[in-house]
Amino acid sequence: MIALATRHLKSLHRRDFVAGAALIDGHWIGGEQRDIVVDPATGDEIADVARCSAADMDRAIAAADRSFGAWRELLPAKRGGILRSWASLMRNYSEDLAVLVTVEQGKPLAEARCEVAYGAGFLEWFAAEGERAYGETIPSHKAGSVLHVRMQPIGVAAAITPWNFPVAMITRKAGAALAAGCPIIVKPAPETPLSALAVARLAEEAGVPRGVVQVLVGDPVVLSTPLLRDTRVRALSFTGSTQVGRLLLEGAAETVKKVSLELGGHAPFLVFDDVDLDKAVKGAMAAKFATSGQDCLAANRIYVQRGVYGAFVETFASAIARLKVGHGLESTTDIGPMTKLSVANKCRAHIDDAAAKGARVISAKQNSRLGPNFVPPTLLSDVTDSMLIAREETFGPVAAVLPFDSEEEVLARANASEMGLAAYVYTDSLRRALRLSESIEYGMVGINTASFTGPPIPFGGWKQSGLGREGSRHGIDEFMELKYICFGDLAA
């Protein structure tokens, strides 16, 4: 029997999407060294891709550097036109791209389709932002002088991207870089190279010139080392774990690159007793189980006020019990496999630790046909602050619920983390919502909503959740240098 993933790959309209070649200096490079791509749901090998070397990366850096001059000189409206064509091709081939995302990442196909649309949206957003990369004039503090500020492209940019949003994390970075006037070299996660290479094909077809977008797949250390060391690479944008983010920040220090980091989260989700419980449960379901929990915005600590605690746990447990676990290509699936076995194992460790320390575990029975990367959606109630899940990000479909008594207490507990990406507050009190939105130490706060991302918002975290912002009008700044110019001696 032909496996589900293989059958879908065979029926792609664009068979070239699975050719597995890397894009370097306008050429598709096959190469003898290959890496296997695996369907995380079954462990089946579904494709192979070229494994690029450090020498390949050196060639890519040189090509990007050569392409920079002409790309930066192109009028922003022309660059924007190319970005819009790229987005439009992504929308035309969205079904093929979504299948690639599902077979290599595992998420349900419906979510993969949303990701492709979300990803295309960044290209469209930045197509327009490039035309608005305004400078300033400064009222002068010196007689007979005029002061200007110009925003100019920083130079060659590098992007190291994760496997949880394998399309959108590329376009969120590439859209901003290209709109600013910078070429970009992308190193996608080894688990999800197919969608990255497919998106690169569409960039080429949209008219992105040779060397302006390149995608190289391979060993992360082998490929990132030249990117970090080379002085021609002026900006580095990374999404992934805090641990690797720290390493890259250190590595980029040698050549003092501009670094932007989107790192781990550990989102608190606060439910007060004045709230409509059904709405809060609906929000918690979305904030916890989207992308099968493999989302840096995922609610990791759901604090529920004592008065509604029992009712919340009961309603939440029934909603969780309705989630269907399975292959992302099956239309009934809500929760797919974890992309990496290590993530599934971390989920199991968090469940075991909580159970050993007295939490109540409500877990759907695991279907024995499902492989080791699957984690049944699990509710842990009566979680305490000393349990692992209350202290570190889980990145899977395990929901931890913790009771609290007062606003002051829950704010202190929510802020007692080195992570500061997203936080959620559910309350019917406007004054409380305003108070908490002021004092919570997170880069993004959803008040009575779990849905707030999209191209217009400044995505990013405080503390060890990252540096810089992506999307919004701020995202383009990560790829620009500010230049101050003083015109003096103007008296005739």
Site map 238..257 versus ligand NAD, x via CB under 6 A:
-xxx--x--xx---------
Site map 392..411 versus ligand NAD, x via CB under 6 A:
-x-x----------------
Residue at token pair 């050549």:
255
CA angle 420, 426, 430 (to 5 degrees): 105
Q: How far is the CB of 114 from ligand NAD (least distance, A)?
A: 16
Residue 292 contacts ligand NAD per CB under 6 A: no
* Active-site annotation holder among 262, 393, 407, 470: 262
Which residue among 90, 206, 263, 319 contacts ligand NAD (CB under 6 A)? 263
Q: How far is the CB of 165 from ligand NAD (least distance, A)?
A: 7
Site map 150..189 versus ligand NAD, x via CB under 6 A:
----------xxx-x------------------------x
Residue 264 contacts ligand NAD per CB under 6 A: yes
Q: Output 72-76 pairs: Cβ under 8 A, ≥24 positions apart.
A: 72/152, 72/153, 72/181, 72/182, 74/181, 76/130, 76/131, 76/133, 76/179, 76/181
What's the token pair of residue 82? 């190319």
Of residues 302-361, which lie at the interface with ligand NAD (CB under 6 A)? 340
- Distance (Å, rounded) from C-alpha 94 to C-alpha 195? 11
* Active-site annotation holder among 296, 347, 393, 478: 296
- Distance (Å, rounded) from C-alpha 295 to C-alpha 297? 5
Determine whether 296 is an active site residue: yes
Which residue among 26, 31, 76, 190 contacts ligand NAD (CB under 6 A)? 190
H or E element that contains 59: helix 54-73
Determine whether 104 is an active site residue: no
Site map 201..240 versus ligand NAD, x via CB under 6 A:
-------------------xx--x--------------xx
Nearest to 30 by CA among 56, 5, 8, 9: 56
Residue 470 contacts ligand NAD per CB under 6 A: no
Count of chain residues binding ligand NAD (CB under 6 A): 22
Which residues, including other chains, have CB under 8 Å from residue 23's CB and lie 6 or more apart?
29, 197, 200, 201, 204, 213, 214, 215, 216
Nearest to 385 by CA among 429, 407, 353, 363: 353
Nearest to 9 by CA among 128, 138, 137, 98: 98
- Residues involved in catalysis: 262, 296
Query: Which residues form the interface with ligand NAD (CB under 6 A)?
Result: 160-162, 164, 189-190, 220-221, 224, 239-241, 244, 247-248, 262-264, 296, 340, 393, 395
